[in-house]
Chains A and B, each alone.
Chain A
């Protein structure tokens, strides 16, 4: 396998998303000779997202939010239920969210944002090799003493490295192979995936600000559940960019297969709902995209290190699927933890699993695993209490609509009927149980 002219560096990162880029940036800053390999023509060209929590970014690059290509900060949020011809929204915000650092919550075009972050990693000293695919890892030794020694590129070239950071995102072919080859322990549950589809819809700036009641420097993130997502564990979102709207739908693949619905049709049903369509009127489609998300949460986490290897971001399953849907920030935090661990390993001259133990220790001590642990039950609640996102909000919406439906009858009659309809056929015991479980979503 070894060719004489093979290149040897300290670290190779596979994948130029937020996870890999944060790892490369941290390692390069710590003085490690770092190469990042990205299969897209440029970092970002394969990546999908929207809402970006910037705590890690702002700590890696002070005041990054002032230079990064941010479309709009999120000054307001909402959570809405879309019923059969009805809808109900909770809309909230705070004045401080319109002031720097804008609650660390921003709307970004991931393709542009990742490309910018790649430039920061390059400036820190990392070498970016774009348009190249890693097909496998390079190993040394066998079975019991097998260790990772580099990567194999498509076309047969190899790169030797003391440590490899796998940051392939959710669709992680090399990571899956490596887990098998190294017999890495898997999680308590198998990883569970959802698929997200989204559209970027161009609209004039002023139209967006008028439709969503925004000042020029403000933005809004809207989350939706309800009828368009019937039969699915899933929901929809709208984020306002500068001159475009991001609209998307995310649902568990297993429930898509069961329901027989096509992801694009689900997105269309969402777009056409009476509570949604007026936002989109007159818009022009700029892009349609799709990607998977790992939704298994804490119980699906497996072993994340081996001799000469660390796995970060979505490839490690570190996305938080609670109401926060935090993928990018967790990817960046895990990338940073891996980068710092690699620097320790380099100083100690020990890239074995024990030498890289700083990675999982940092994850344990930091926000990523503490949040994933806190939301351990979310994946089960989402699948086990589907009423939370359909039946109950629908009943509350109907209660409100009935309450405020104006007829010639006296108000007392209208109100009594509304409340009776609400209480009838409400499965009370299950309702209490579900509400009790639901508090764990927050």
Chain B
């Protein structure tokens, strides 16, 4: 069992409830910009690490939209506004029980 001070992000996201919508990604990245983006801040500013380095191409990122907490940070943090973020469909996505 994990101590409360040493939980990984995966452990944390596992405790949060979601209504997953695998078939309808609500996030799309215009990778033309990523190729030009040196710092790739999306790799660290997202509280759910939805954006990860693409294992096949270091210039690109992958998107795990199912982990999204719908905070909105990526809509402001991406220097190229390359992230097209839409509200998930009604009732889908994160579902806070405490909030």
Contact = CB atoms under 8 A, between A and B. Distances in A.
A139 interface: no
A300 B98 CA distance: 30
Given A171-B75, A257-B41, A264-B12, A46 B70 contact: yes
B87 A292 contact: no
Interface residues of B, number: 41
Contact of B99 (A49, A197, A268): A49
A289 B4 CA distance: 16
A47 B70 CA distance: 10
Contacts of A335: none
B23 interface: no
B69 interface: yes
A261 B44 contact: yes
Contacts of A289: 16, 69, 94, 96, 98-99
Nearest to A288: B12
B19 interface: yes
A77 interface: no
B11 to A, nearest CB: 7
Interface residues of A, number: 56
B76 A199 contact: no
A253 B4 contact: no
B23 to A, nearest CB: 15
Contacts of A173: 86-87
Given A257-B77, A284-B4, A132 B90 contact: yes
A358 to B, nearest CB: 30
A197 to B, nearest CB: 5
Interface stretch (A105-113, A118-126, A380-388, A404-412): A105-113
B96 A46 contact: yes
Interface stretch (B28-36, B45-53, B56-64): B45-53
19 contacts: A39-B87, A45-B99, A48-B96, A110-B99, A114-B99, A130-B90, A133-B90, A171-B70, A195-B73, A260-B41, A263-B73, A272-B5, A277-B5, A284-B4, A285-B7, A285-B12, A286-B97, A289-B16, A291-B71
